[in-house]
Amino acid sequence: MNLIRLAIGWLVGIGLAGSFNVPLPWWLIVATVALVGLPFDRSSQRWLALSVLCCALGGVRFHVAQPLIGPQHIERWADTNRLTLVGYVAEEPRRDDRGQQLVVEVTHTRTSERFVMTEGRVLVRVPPYPPYYPGDRLWLEGDLSRPATAQRVGEFDYRVYLARRNIFVLMHRPTVIRQLDKPVTNWGIKQISQFREHCRQIILRLLPEPQAALTIGILLGIQAGLPETTRTAFAATGTSHILVVSGWNFSIAAAALAALARLLRLPPWPAFWLSLAIMWIYAGFTGASAAVIRAAMMASLALLARTAERQSEPWRLLLAACWLLTLINPQTLWDLGFQLSALATASLFAFGKPVDHWLDTVRWPPHPVVDAMREALGATLAAQVLTLPLMLYHFGNLSLIAPLANIVIVPVVPFAMLLGGCALLGGLVWLPLGQWLALCAWLPLSWINSVAMLLAEPAWAVVRLPVFPLWLLVVMYVVIASVWWRWVRDDGQVNAAAVRSSVD
């Protein structure tokens, strides 16, 4: 419990530093005061000082991670017409039906006289073809502009969003874009990205649409190519989480790897290292977003605890993953995908048992299919407790059909993932083999798509809510935390009474 408090203190410090712009000297003063309080004899005072120290260190880490905008930073040329840049693709491009978004790390800028060394990142929108990969060196000519800011309080601020990714200027549709020789060394990242694109092309040859786009989203985490009607249907039914790589994918992968290790009769530790390597290769293969890295860390820590034959405490695993991610990059805390992923996991830990107890009051027919549907309903309702307020705050859409949609769709997803993965592996070996295997994957994929489209049709499936203010979001989380704490206290009292009665 004390380690959990320290991790929460760290996250609170980062959140306060980023939200209220508390200066660095103040965090150093708080850290010094906390260090003075460490020698206290009382345990409660010592742990309070440690929690405050972790909070201050989180604030310090946030400030240390901020980019230094010097005289050579690319922001100096913001709002400049017809500028020439030379740089390299620094991240996995985000591709959609309209083109590619490239994060270009600028190395040189051409002025009227000569090339000058430059630093900083530019977000560049380019056509979908030719595809670019991390490490590609580019020559760009176009107009630089600053991102748009929010016009009213509470609106999405694109400039702040990009600044958290250390991006301060844009270049939309450059007039000249040319790939240069000798790409930057990137330790195989470009090759992974190219292989990922090759896998996408293989899937497109194995399956028709929209089954191919669903498989690409589930296995590779690529959203480009998904028809807009299908994307809207999944959003309306509250099943968009199926289309992205998440902790669920790693849970399925971990279970499959454990079964393979048992089949091959591998000793525990060789099986651990093999599973760990495969999971992290898969994490990098799918783009290594914050949510994916969090899921991979959670799966890795759980696998380590299981191999070492130690009890895997879920809250410690979750907060350890969040701490490691924010230690590497404090701006991860503001990534919406990371927030929803972490909140969904925490919600399952906190409300999984209460929801299961509530569902147990209903008499369910004894059948394996019904058991799978009940499990999907319980997981959906439990995960919604903490994620729904944040989704309402950001999107304002309340899906009334989501529980039913998750009941009939979620149990089928593991089959679609496993069969789609087998078809992809077969297609990589020999295309006709993959096409035969894809016939098995087509059925669960078609079920997922057809059910989502059907359940999204009613006009009442989604309710558009009015503006959801920040104070209401805070109030909802306070109420949820109070209800959870009361349940934990009551449950602890019931367990203590049960122990006393058994002793008597």
Whether residue 331 sits in one domain with residue 310: yes
Whether residue 323 sits in one domain with residue 209: yes
Q: Which of 3-7, 84-88, 327-331 has the lowest mean pLDDT?
A: 3-7
Residue 129 lies in a domain: yes
Residue 124: per-residue pLDDT = 93
The answer to whether the CB of 89 falls within 8 A of the CB of 110 is no
- Extended beta strands in 400-455, E state: none
Whether residue 313 sits in one domain with residue 222: yes
Phi, psi of 183 (to 5 degrees): -65, 160
Residue 499 lies in a domain: no
Q: Is 123 helix (H, G, I), strand (E, B) or coil?
A: strand
Whether residue 415 sits in one domain with residue 328: yes
Whether residue 86 sits in one domain with residue 37: no
Whether residue 218 sits in one domain with residue 174: no
Q: Percent of the chain, pLDDT > 70?
A: 88
Rounded CA-CA distance 333/490 in Å is 32
- Please, which residues have CB within 8 angstroms of residue 298's CB and are 6 or more apart in sequence? 247, 250, 317, 318, 321, 345
**Alpha-carbon distances, residue 158 vs 154, 155, 165 (angstroms):** 12, 9, 11
For 306-325, give the DSSP string: HHTT----HHHHHHHHHHHH
Say yes or no to pLDDT of 187 above 70. no
> Do the bridges between strand 167-172 and strand 121-126 make them parallel or antiparallel, or are there none, so unpaired?
parallel
Whether residue 295 sits in one domain with residue 356: yes
Rounded CA-CA distance 170/109 in Å is 15
Say yes or no to pLDDT of 279 above 70. yes
Q: Give kind and range of the element (H or E) at residue 30.
A: helix 24-37
Nearest to 444 by CA among 477, 474, 409: 409
The answer to whether the CB of 460 falls within 8 A of the CB of 400 is yes
Per-residue pLDDT, averaged over 137-145, amounts to: 90
**Cis check: omega of the bond before 147, within 30 degrees of 0:** no
Say yes or no to pLDDT of 315 above 50. yes
Confidence of residue 485 (pLDDT cuts 50, 70, 90): confident
pLDDT in tens, 433-483: 999 999 999 999 999 999 999 999 888 888 887 777 788 888 999 999 888
The number of beta carbons lying within 10 Å of the beta carbon of residue 68 is 6
The answer to whether the CB of 89 falls within 8 A of the CB of 136 is yes
Query: Quick one: DSSP state of residue 332?
Result: G
Whether residue 474 sits in one domain with residue 394: yes
- We report the CATH number of the domain holding residue 149 as 2.40.50
Span between the terminal Cα atoms of the chain, in Å? 30
Residue 419 lies in a domain: yes
Residue 499: per-residue pLDDT = 46
The answer to whether the CB of 208 falls within 8 A of the CB of 225 is no
More confident call, 252 vs 310: 252
Query: CA 480, 484, 485: angle at the middle one, nearest 5?
Result: 115
Q: What token pair was written down for 293?
A: 């890295």
For 240-304, give the DSSP string: GGGGS--HHHHHHHHHHHHHHHHHHT--HHHHHHHHHHHHHHHHHHTT--HHHHHHHHHHHHHHH
User: Which domain range does residue 79 map to?
Assistant: 74-186
Dihedral sign, CA of 218, 224, 229, 233? positive
The answer to whether the CB of 65 falls within 8 A of the CB of 330 is yes
Q: What is the dihedral of CA 191, 197, 198, 200, to 10 degrees?
A: 150
Residue 435 lies in a domain: yes
More confident call, 197 vs 185: 197
Number of domains, the chain: 3
Which span out of 191-205, 290-304, 381-395 was modeled with the highest average pLDDT? Answer: 191-205
Mean pLDDT of the chain: 82
Whether residue 394 sits in one domain with residue 335: yes
Residue 61: per-residue pLDDT = 92
Q: Which of 68-77, 224-233, 370-379 has the lowest mean pLDDT?
A: 370-379
Say yes or no to pLDDT of 123 above 90. yes
Per-residue pLDDT, averaged over 274-283, amounts to: 83
Nearest to 268 by CA among 230, 308, 229, 236: 308
Residue 494 lies in a domain: no
pLDDT in tens, 80-102: 778 899 999 988 888 777 788 99
Rounded CA-CA distance 498/350 in Å is 22
The answer to whether the CB of 371 falls within 8 A of the CB of 407 is no
**Cis check: omega of the bond before 210, within 30 degrees of 0:** yes
Whether residue 345 sits in one domain with residue 221: yes
Q: Give kind and range of the element (H or E) at residue 386.
A: helix 368-395
Whether residue 244 sits in one domain with residue 376: yes
Residue 491 lies in a domain: no
Say yes or no to pLDDT of 7 above 90. no
**Alpha-carbon distances, residue 44 vs 49, 51, 315, 492 (angstroms):** 9, 11, 21, 21
Whether residue 140 sits in one domain with residue 112: yes
Q: Which of 34-48, 133-147, 241-255, 486-500 has the lowest mean pLDDT?
A: 486-500
Confidence of residue 138 (pLDDT cuts 50, 70, 90): very high
Give per-residue burial for 116-128: e unless 16+ CB within 10 Å, then b. Answer: eebbbbbbbbbee
Residue 69 lies in a domain: no
The answer to whether the CB of 375 falls within 8 A of the CB of 340 is no
Residue 36: per-residue pLDDT = 80
Residue 502 lies in a domain: no
Nearest to 276 by CA among 284, 188, 341: 284
